[in-house]
Amino acid sequence: MAIASALSKLSIFAAFICLAAQPALANEPSFSSTADTVFDVIKTGDPSSFSCLTYEGRDTREMWDKRLDAEPTLSAFLFQAHFTDSPSIDIILNPEFQSEAEARAEAMRYTRGLGQLPLVLRSGIKQFGIHKGREGFHGGSGKIFMYQDQSSHRISQNKLEESIFHEAVHASLDARYRLDPDWVAAQNADGRFLTRYAASRPDREDLAETALFAYALLRHPGRIPPVDSRDILAAVPNRIEFIRAILDNNEAPDEGPTIPVSCQ
């Protein structure tokens, strides 16, 4: 992927932004975090490639749990979420959900949002785990862990899809890009952060925080009001172009989808 080539195109773009921006912008981030904005970037009714969910039984799985600050091995409920344009994702649920029916109902709350992700984000998710409780979500290399009560809170805010997007960046992009020299150079060139959360953890959270804003402006223009769009573009033009190059590399994975006949 030609990240450097994308960054070289910034001169005209940055000049336009400078003209559009107010004469002076404070260095203080405009937002607390992506989760705390009022922007509905990914709408529930947006198209989703989710097809169906199959139950695979019970088996032992390691599940990171913030409530314990540990990764216990549990007899988890196992499901596979199938998509029309990518391989399936393993969804595993803590046995505290007690029954297959309860676990399935909880798993289904996330499947549409997973199917709304760009392929470059979804293809890196190998395991999607769900616990009860209201801990903050967690995304690591190839894995995401969500918490039922916190998800209910995000749904009430129309923010569950955005939260899945944020954690998918951690699962799919962090290992390759969050410390990439070109990304760090883009951070330094911009000299600002969009959220206080990103500013507090620039090496861990800035990519995931910035990516959602960039996705909104690049794929759903109009979902962020013009005045905010202008300020976002003025603040982080180099990082938006970096993320544009990643999103444009949205090729289908080598392994195509395999949807069981019984699932259709």
Torsion sign, CA atoms 248, 190, 122, 174: positive
Please report whether residue 28 resides in a domain.
yes
Tell me the residue range of the domain where 32 lies.
Answer: 3-42+176-248
Task: Please check whether residue 167 lies inside any domain of the structure.
Answer: yes
Q: Look at residue 257 in the predicted model and tell me its pLDDT.
A: 75
* Average pLDDT, rounded, for the chain: 89
| 18/104 same-domain check | no
Report pLDDT for 168.
Answer: 98
Assess whether 56 and 167 both reside in one domain: yes
- For residues 184 and 163, state if they share a domain: no
**Amino acid identity at 79:** F
pLDDT in tens, 103-113: 999 999 999 99
- Are residues 109 and 208 located together in one domain of the fold? no
- Is 145 or 260 the better-scoring residue by pLDDT? 145
Q: What pLDDT score was predicted for residue 256?
A: 66
Nearest to 216 by CA among 188, 189, 197, 244: 244
Phi, psi of 84 (to 5 degrees): -80, -10
Is 216 part of a structural domain of the chain? yes
pLDDT exceeds 80 at position 12: no
> 94 and 159 share a domain?
yes
Per-residue pLDDT band at 258 (split at 50, 70, 90):
confident
R_g (Cα) of the chain, nearest Å: 19
Query: What is the average per-residue pLDDT within 251-259?
Result: 67
pLDDT tens digits for range 86-100: 999 999 999 999 999
DSSP state of 94: -
Residues 35 and 78 in one domain: no
Please name the residues in contact with 28: beta carbons below 8 A apart, sequence gap of 6 or more: none
pLDDT band for position 259 (cuts 50, 70, 90): confident
Contacts of 38 (CB under 8 A, 6+ apart): none
Q: Are residues 163 and 59 in the same domain?
A: yes
0.85 surpassed by pTM: yes
Q: What secondary structure does DSSP assign to 97-114, as a single string?
A: G-SHHHHHHHHHHHHHHH
Same domain membership, residue 190 and residue 165: no
Judge whether residue 9 has pLDDT over 50.
no
Indicate if 59 and 146 belong to the same structural domain: yes
In a domain, 260, yes or no: no
Check whether 170 has a pLDDT greater than 90: yes
For 150-175, the three-class secondary structure string (H helix, E strand, C coil) is: HHHHHHHCCCHHHHHHHHHHHHHCHH
Task: Please indicate, yes or no, whether residues 66 and 165 belong to a single structural domain of this protein.
Answer: yes
How many Å apart are CA 213 and CA 226, to the nearest integer?
13
Q: What is the pLDDT of residue 25?
A: 44
Query: So what's the pLDDT on residue 260?
Result: 81
pLDDT tens digits for range 134-145: 999 999 999 999
Query: Which of residues 125, 144, 172 is at a domain's end?
Result: 172
Residue 69: inside a domain:
yes
Domain count, the chain: 2
What is the average per-residue pLDDT within 143-152? 98
Do 110 and 208 lie in one domain? The reply is no
Mean pLDDT, rounded, for 175-180: 96
Query: Using an 8 Å Cβ cutoff, are 131 and 148 in contact?
Result: yes
180 and 143, same structural domain?
no
